[in-house]
Amino acid sequence: MKNKIYIACFIFTCIQLATTEPVFSKEKEKRENSNNLSSAVSTINSNTINPIWGFYIDAFAGLASINTSGLTSDIWKTEGNFAYTSSIGYFYSVHPMIKMKGGIGVSSYKASLTGNGEIESPQLVDIDNDTYIEKLTIQNAEQTINPMYLTIPLICEFGTANISQVGYYVDIGLEYSYLINEKNSTAGSYTTKGYYPQWGVTLENVPELGYYSDQNIGSDLKLKKSILSVRGAGGITIPISGTIIFKLGIAGYMGLNSVGKSTTNVDNNESISKQTSEFRSSYIYNPLSTTKGNKARRIGVEYGLYICKRVK
């Protein structure tokens, strides 16, 4: 009986050993897979020639608009217009797929604020210290700004730009802009009336009390000197020689601070009170000064060249 039990155990053990994969074969398979992966990566890297450092030229063309979400009234509407940016600079690859870029450039855009409608003020005081409510009517008003900036972009780019084959890129960065020129214009007219609830009367077309009919808007738009924007872009890269790579993509810019000055322009007209002048400033003197979110936005096409001075 014991012999039969020993024989059965021996047969069962042999079957187990025959059907179980040896540990050393699994380790060998892992090593082979790892070697195959390393070989594949090496093959991919050997098929591309990557730039180490060099220079770049970038250009952007698109549309610009002003964010009017912070305006005190919905009377103003923004209209986008042409925008462009150009820059030159230096790039350095900290990794085959990561480049740091910095340079200098010039940017400009044109944007308009248009308005039509009637605005009713809160309770104000006139030059005789009488309380009243002003009704300000804006007619065919248009405020146009056309600034030009000196820009300093700092960009981190991720992608496969190389001089061997078509690649791609995605980047994000900051752009500092310093105002070097501005051309602003104003058109349209306004009418003011004063309603005195204590007497139930409305005064209009009384210039000595500051009530006008079809008065030309004399705006004095002023823009901030310094603007900071965040930018993002993505597209393809195409090698055109052993040292030059062409890029083409879509880019967008979003201002992080407002373009208009926060100060309120006050009319020195002696026929109206300072309180009245500050109210009118929101609409006829400097509409950008009263907004909390008049940030410039740009979106369009960008293109450029990488001039590689060293490759690997």
Please give the share of the chain, as a percent, with pLDDT higher than 70: 77
Average confidence (pLDDT) over 80-88: 93
- Per residue in 148-189, pLDDT (tens digit) is 999 999 999 999 999 999 999 999 999 999 999 998 888 889
Q: Which two tokens stand for residue 253?
A: 């810019």
Residue 52 pLDDT class (50, 70, 90 cuts):
very high
Asked whether the beta carbons of 298 and 269 are under 8 A apart, the reply is no
Per mean pLDDT, which range of 22-36, 91-105, 196-210 is the poorest? 22-36
Average confidence (pLDDT) over 4-27: 44
Alpha-carbon span 251 to 249, nearest angstrom: 7
Neighbours of 81 (CB within 10 A): 15
- Per residue in 246-266, pLDDT (tens digit) is 999 999 999 998 888 765 555
Quote the pLDDT of residue 261: 72
Write down the pTM of the prediction: 0.77
Asked whether the beta carbons of 175 and 228 are under 8 A apart, the reply is yes
Provide the CATH number for the domain formed by 52-311 in this structure. 2.40.160.20
- Residue 210 CA to chain centroid, in angstroms? 41
Quote the pLDDT of residue 69: 65
Is residue 304 scored above 80 in pLDDT?
Answer: yes
Distance between first and last Cα of the chain? 77
Asked whether the beta carbons of 47 and 165 are under 8 A apart, the reply is yes
Q: CB within 8 A of 113, min separation 6: which ones?
A: 66, 68, 76, 77, 78, 79, 141, 142, 143, 144, 287, 288
Quote the pLDDT of residue 279: 83
- Residue 190 CA to chain centroid, in angstroms? 34
Question: How high is the mean pLDDT of the chain?
Answer: 82
Quote the pLDDT of residue 74: 65
Alpha-carbon span 226 to 115, nearest angstrom: 27
Residue with tokens 């209009």: 204
More confident residue, 39 or 255: 255
Residue 75 pLDDT class (50, 70, 90 cuts):
confident
- Per residue in 94-150, pLDDT (tens digit) is 999 999 999 999 999 998 888 888 888 999 998 888 999 999 998 888 888 899 999
Beta strands in 67-216, from DSSP E residues, in sequence order = 76-79, 81-95, 98-109, 111-125, 131-145, 147-159, 167-182, 185-196, 201-204, 215-216
